[in-house]
């Protein structure tokens, strides 16, 4: 009988232990962070669904699968580097046009003209 009473005392002792205050704080804090995270995600999704073009404010020219090249011009080089393509064109007056394309979006990013110094 003495053995049984010792086992009951041990069992009661393990059931009545309190969690440390730091652990309670950590669990509550992580729960609050999860709730705030879900709220931010759903607000962001709702905003993007309501305003699909809100962040598209670039003034790029849409590429309609045509790049106008002047008569008597020569395409010297086409260089593809990942998502961007650089086209080098030599004009009749010995100037060079550089056209930068974003191939994923199909838009012209920049156009540069370089003139050769005659001196």
C-alpha 116/C-alpha 96 separation (Å) is 8
* H or E segment and range at residue 113: strand 107-114
Q: Which residue has the higher pLDDT, 12 or 49?
A: 49
Q: Can you list the positions of beta strands (E) in 32-92? A: 61-62, 74-81, 84-90
Residue 86: exposure state from Cβ atoms within 10 A (0-12, 13-18, ≥19): middle
pTM of the model: 0.46
Q: Please tell me the total number of residues recorded for the chain in this structure.
A: 119
- What average pLDDT does this structure show over 16-27? 83
- What average pLDDT does this structure show over 55-65? 58
Domain ranges of the chain: 2-50, 61-114
Per-residue model confidence (pLDDT) at position 86: 93
Q: Which residue has the higher pLDDT, 57 or 79?
A: 79
- What average pLDDT does this structure show over 73-97? 90
User: What confidence tens digit (pLDDT) does each residue in 29-54 have?
Assistant: 999 999 999 999 999 999 988 887 65
């Amino acid at each position: 009988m003495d053995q049984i009473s010792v086992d009951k005392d041990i069992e009661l002792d393990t059931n009545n232990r309190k969690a440390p205050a730091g652990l309670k704080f950590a669990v509550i804090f992580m729960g609050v962070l999860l709730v705030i995270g879900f709220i931010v995600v759903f607000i962001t999704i709702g905003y993007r669904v309501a305003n699909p073009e809100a962040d598209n404010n670039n003034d790029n020219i849409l590429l309609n699968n045509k790049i106008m090249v002047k008569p008597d011009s020569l395409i010297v080089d086409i260089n593809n580097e990942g998502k961007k393509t650089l086209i080098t064109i030599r004009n009749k007056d010995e100037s060079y046009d550089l056209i930068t394309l974003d191939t994923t979006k199909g838009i012209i990013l920049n156009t540069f003209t370089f003139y050769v110094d005659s001196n």
